[in-house]
Amino acid sequence: MAATLVTGASGCVGSALVRKLIAAAHQVRVLLRPTSDLRNIEGLPVEVALGDLTDKNSLERALEGCNALYHAAADYRLWARHPQQLYQNNVAGTVNIMQAALKAGVERIVYTSSVATLGLHADGSPADENTPVTLNDMIGHYKRSKFLAEAEVKRMIAGQGLPAVIVNPSTPVGPRDIRPTPTGRMVLDAACGRTPAYVDTGLNLVHVDDVAQGHLLAFERGVAGERYILGGRNMTLKEILTEIARISGQKPPRVKLPHNLVLPIAYLSEAWAWLTNGPEPRATVDGVRLSKKYMFFSIEKARRELGYNPRPVEEALKDAVEWFRANGYC
């Protein structure tokens, strides 16, 4: 039986994907760095291939005997001390794994992009896979790196026959966000009562397990070269924080802060992280700039063409809060 390789398997989305593949009787192989945190896949019946997206030889070894690839690995940071790492991991790493897949004769690929690469409507109405966008619309190095990575995948599909379907998850929430990601920190801070105020913005939230199921649906039913938004419900940040407060027994935030007031705080937060060589700041300049737009999306194409049907977002937030609490984050 040919194997299925999953990159990013130790992360929140990747580990959910691995579980779905195992349940569907796939022989799963995971690409992990020697330094990867293994908590999310501990005890799962997977074959481990040690390697790195920057090491082409390790990718070729990992893909031996594989007929399927899910490339879910990504460097998801809204602030990085060395921004070139985002491009090395997200752009060059994606090109490396796709070239290795072509060389190995992999028959089917699902590439995990992001709604970060998509256009947005000025009026806040839901955008879709065809909303116009350019590189100049990308705010920050994370979005730029994901945009460029997706462009490379499209180029290889068109020019080299790369058998890849592209999926664009919105904002996944749920269990096993061990880092946590910027999204996970938002949920965690609200659940722990550390979010007294909010800004006027909006996100499309979805359960991470539904994103994982959407990957399998894209593999089975998606058209190579097409992309599919894997999202859930569009919610304002106030609505999100209010729901988290209800779940966690906290008081919902009542103070709305203007973006122009939060931006100097973000600059100071980043400066402090630089000076102290500390962790990623909680408030980032790119995060504030992104929050000036409503990041609302339509999932109708995935519903129609893939049979994608996500659960209520309240379940995603509840599962995320319960997981953070059960694992001592709060």
More confident residue, 67 or 82: 67
- pLDDT tens across 255-266, in order? 888 877 776 676
> Does residue 59 have a pLDDT over 90?
yes
Write phi, then psi, for 169 (nearest 5 degrees).
-60, 150
Range in 58-72, 194-208, 220-234, 282-296 with the lowest mean pLDDT: 282-296
> Shortest CA distance to 197 belongs to which of 249, 258, 247?
258
pLDDT at 267: 61
Residues 93 and 74: their CA atoms lie apart, in Å, by 9
- pLDDT tens across 75-102, in order? 988 767 888 999 999 999 999 999 999 9
297-315 burial, b at 16+ Cβ within 10 Å, e below that, comes to: bbbebbeeebebebeebeb
**Mean pLDDT score of the chain:** 93
pLDDT at 266: 66
- pLDDT tens across 247-298, in order? 999 999 988 888 777 766 766 776 776 777 777 777 776 777 777 789 999 9
| Model pTM score | 0.93
Task: Judge whether 229 and 168 are in contact, CB under 8 Å.
Answer: yes
> Does residue 219 have a pLDDT over 80?
yes
pLDDT at 276: 76
CA separation, residue 229 to residues 2, 40, 168, 172, 195 (Å):
28, 25, 5, 12, 29
**Residue range 111-115: average pLDDT?**
97
Q: Is 93 exposed, middle or buried (0-12, 13-18, 19+ CB in 10 A)?
A: buried
**Bond prior to 180 in cis (omega within 30° of 0):** yes
Residues 298 and 129: their CA atoms lie apart, in Å, by 8
> Which runs of consecutive H residues, i.e. helices, occur in the chain?
12-23, 56-62, 84-87, 93-104, 140-160, 182-191, 208-221, 237-248, 259-276, 285-290, 300-306, 313-326
> Does residue 218 have a pLDDT over 90?
yes
User: How large a percentage of the chain has pLDDT more than 90?
Assistant: 81
